[in-house]
Structure 1
Amino acid sequence: MSGSAKEIIAEKARALGFDLVGVSRAEPLEAGGERLREWQAAGMAGEMAYMNRPVELLSDPRKLQKSARSVISLGVSYYPGEHPENPGSGGRVARYAWGRDYHEVIKERLFRLRRELEEELGVKIKARAFTDAVPLLERSAAQRAGLGFFGRNSCLINGEIGSYFFIADLIVDLELEPDEPGSGTCGRCTRCMSACPTGAIKAPGVVDARLCISYLTIENRGEIPRKLRPLVGDWAFGCDVCQEVCPYNKRKAQKSRWPEFSAEAGAGEYLDLLEVLEIRDEEAFERHFAGTPLTRPGRAGLVRNCCVVAGNLRLEAAVPALIRCLTEDESPVVRAHAAWALGEIGGAAAGAALRRAAEAEGDPRCREEIRAAETSCAKKSAPRSP
């Protein structure tokens, strides 16, 4: 199909709010597949079963649509601005999750793009539209379509808008002229590697998900390893540290034009820790966070995260809520992390609650956490030597 078809695609996509547009052939992503194979072999995918799928599936667009000829990769800035200062009892939320759930918001516009292209080009288009929801190496496809280059933090970086952007794709049965692959470099900069709180960036472009705060607070369904909890800081959902220090973002980050991704549209910059710690059932959780990305870790996962943040902030005001988590929550994961947080905060009320809970707790792993928290609490309550 002629270059004019690509011009129409770019024009329509930008009119719908997409900031970046590129095209690649629907062929196997060989370089991305090889990187994925090595990453999987090293066990760095953690418990993300969808990232442990066969490389041949994840790296070939034609596995998703047999008639595929081209992949239209699109980028849309989600950058909502800088985090304000923590109010003191807040759990920080990664910028991509301040507003509405991007899956649904972007998918709606992808379908509109397809319809408009069919009308303008006068052809019926067989297409698969998605954003971060099917087994495909979307960043690799986007890099091949010219949307950016891989930074040391493994994010795709665009020279004009940085890395705060969602990637969306239309796999189509149209023969389109491909764009040149994205190119660029981080130069000598290693700020993201130095700034990562947990040291998750093991080598340029290689992130060990098992250490990444985003993985630990979102994809991980179990406990956050005890030694990593202090490093989570005040991040209750995701983490932006490696992007915050990136010079491309400091100079180029482009405020999103989509109101759906603003803080006013969703949960916002910080979660109220005391509020989240009181959520006891799935219905209340869904009522509170429906339509936002914060439903991803589930109720127990998000409450777990807020327990950790409360402990890291030494938030004494959270002690009554944490005690209720410890004694009333049905999830052993929540109870275990509530115990840890109480041990970090310390004080007479926390100590007394931990002692009572140690006798009543039936889960062996929770009892172990409670005993460790008792020890921590006792050390904090012990009088200091003159």
Structure 2
Amino acid sequence: MSGGVDSAVAAARAVEAGHEVIGVHLALSRMPGTLRTGSRGCCTIEDSMDARRAADLLGIPFYVWDFSERFKLDVVDDFIAEYSAGRTPNPCMRCNEKIKFAALLEKAIDLGFDAVCTGHYATLATGEDGLVELHRASAWAKDQSYVLGVLTQQQLEHCYFPLGDTPSKDLVRAEAAERGISVAQKPDSHDICFIPDGDTRGWLGDRIGTATGEVVDSGGAKLGEHDGATAYTVGQRKGLRLGVPAPDGKPRFVLEIRPKTNEVVVGPKEALNIAEIAGQRMSWTGAAKTEADGAFRCDVQIRAHADPVPATARVSTSAASTRDDATIPGVEWSVVVDEPLVGVAPGQTAVVYVGTSVLGQFTIDRTVSAVQESTAQDGVAGSADGQEAA
């Protein structure tokens, strides 16, 4: 129970359905006051008290479980490491993968509980093959199946999402008010919980440091300087100090971050168009595919609130291993989209759907440009022809 309206109503529905329920609030920081600024962030002492009041109203036991050390190691430190490597991670998905549906679920099972119930907007169903399927929520605007795409079959078997079939968040708030839950109108939390003021650039600068480097075009020509490559991400336009105007007079955008040389690569907007994405850090939510299955049609989504894009995907079992942390050495997802994706950054998560069902996910390591003359990015350091830089 986060202290928000969704988890409170989910708990109420679980109690009403006849389950034996306890409320658990996750302590993710030893200094919880640093995790909220207004409606941003989460997991403060005030949030814990809101969760406790909801549990008291429902007549269920309430506990605070301390996962702050694991959260720092698996989420915060990972976030810093990914940005240091020139990638753009999704810490919310990492938290779901490592904390909410791993550390929390493991402890719950050890204590004899059957499932973890959360306020996520997603639905579960049993497929013809007997596997648990993760599907989109009825409320498309609130659907959270993307951020749950990191869950495995073993985890889904112990999940319960009571809000998945609710048509809208307004109905959840109305139900909370009817039940007398005090957080019925509490604002949703936003952005990254451990950067409550939203200043990712400043937060990273304090931890990684900043070093002046060059802003270059895809051919390596110097166009300006930057005060720290971690301040930029693929697709960014603002904040570029370019001393050399573009020949066509059009704006330029960040195409790539090269941490090894501390360079930020910029180019025209059309160079952000990506035709193919691939990655070797993956997991299966549905039935696993193999190379023998060949290419198959699907939809791919690369951001939590982005529209899914029709695509053709395949799994290769003979790919050259480009990552020490590849899930299975030599196994790689590759997805070719029907229409270009825009502004894809290495480190983002691609979730693959078949219909409304999540098949699996992978972290994007490589991209292939949709235009011949622009770059094809490598996840850590790329060059203009798409080959890995030395």
Shorter chain as normaliser: what TM range? Answer: under 0.3
Return the TM-score normalized by structure 1: 0.27
Higher relative contact order (CA 8 A, sep 6+): 1
Richer in helix (by share): 1
Larger Rg computed on CA atoms: 1
User: Comparing both structures, which one devotes a greater share of its residues to strand?
Assistant: 2
- What's the TM-score once normalised by structure 2's chain length? 0.26
